[in-house]
Structure 1
Amino acid sequence: MPPYLRPVAVTLDCADPLALAAFYREATGLAPHPGSGAGFAALTGPDGFVLGFQAVEDYRPPRRPGQDVPQQVHLCYEVGEDLGAAEARLLALGAAVPGHQPHDPDHARVLTDPAGHPFCIVRKKRKKGKD
């Protein structure tokens, strides 16, 4: 059997782990990890996946598309067929729209979380033969 890697966690640097965890909790519905604190906070999914947030002194948010401060990580989320509604909900939670949009806005949109990390929301793909 060939070796494989199963993703079990992603951790984002930020200035305020609890605040960023609160944003992603509302955005994703993941459960807060009971060991979360000011230096490191986490959310867990039903399959055990952990989305973590670690405090970094003098944190500087990434700048996109420039590389003065590289993006560090880029996550993508499937949001269903109504990208506009998903975007509006995320903006209300504290996300922002960066100036650079490299994708077709009918298929995917780039946003940034409250700590400046870019992420994409993508339209759910319809299965062939389905309306």
Structure 2
Amino acid sequence: MPPRMKLSAITLDCPDPPALAAFYQQATGLEPHPKSHADFAGLTGEDGLLIGFQRVENHRPPSWPDPTVPQQLHLCFAVEDLDEAETRLLELGAGKPDHQPHEERWRVLTDPAGHPFCLTVSG
């Protein structure tokens, strides 16, 4: 039997960990990790999952959908109302790429450090 694994953390490279953590904290309501600092900030969920943000010098944001700088990974968030969530996240500093593959079913946005993430309708 293969070993059981539980996802415990997801970490994103970025130029400014506290700023990116603040964006995701406002977007998700997750709690700041108490040991966050200038080079690594984190948010924790009720289930113990940590979303971490680590400082990388000369960070190059993904250029989605252009693969020149690959996205490498992206986060997906379930929301009740796509339009409402998109509006709120844009107000918080998210970007919206022109290319939207299935805008009626999900939205692709970018966080302030350029990482793409998706909004999908929950349920």
| TM bucket normalised to smaller | over 0.9
Unpaired stretches in structure 1, ≥5 consecutive residues: 126-131
TM alignment of 1:27-106, pairs within 5 A: 27-80=27-80, 82-103=81-102, 105-106=103-104
Cα distance in 1 between the residues matched to 2:101 and 2:23: 24
Q: 1:57 is matched by which residue type in structure 2? A: E
Q: 2:6 is matched by which residue type in structure 1? A: R
1:86 deviation in Å? 0.4
* SS of aligned partner of 2:97: coil
1:68 deviation in Å? 1.1
Unpaired stretches in structure 2, ≥5 consecutive residues: none
TM-score by length of 1: 0.90
* 1:129 aligned partner: none
* 2:116 aligned partner: 118
Cα distance in 2 between the residues matched to 1:29 and 1:107: 24
* CA displacement 1:72-120 (0-9 Å, x = unmatched): 211100011x1100000000000010122122x2221000000000000
1:2 deviation in Å? 4.5
TM-score by length of 2: 0.95
* SS of aligned partner of 1:87: helix
* 1:8 aligned partner: 8
Task: List, as ranges, runs of 4+ consecutive aligned residues in structure 1 with deviation greater than 6 Å.
Answer: none
1:3 deviation in Å? 3.1
Give the number of aligned pairs: 123
Cα distance in 2 between the residues matched to 1:21 and 1:72: 19
* CA displacement 1:35-66 (0-9 Å, x = unmatched): 10110000000111000000000001100111
* SS of aligned partner of 2:71: coil
Specify which of 84, 106, 109 is matched with residue 107 of structure 2: 109
Bigger Cα Rg: 1
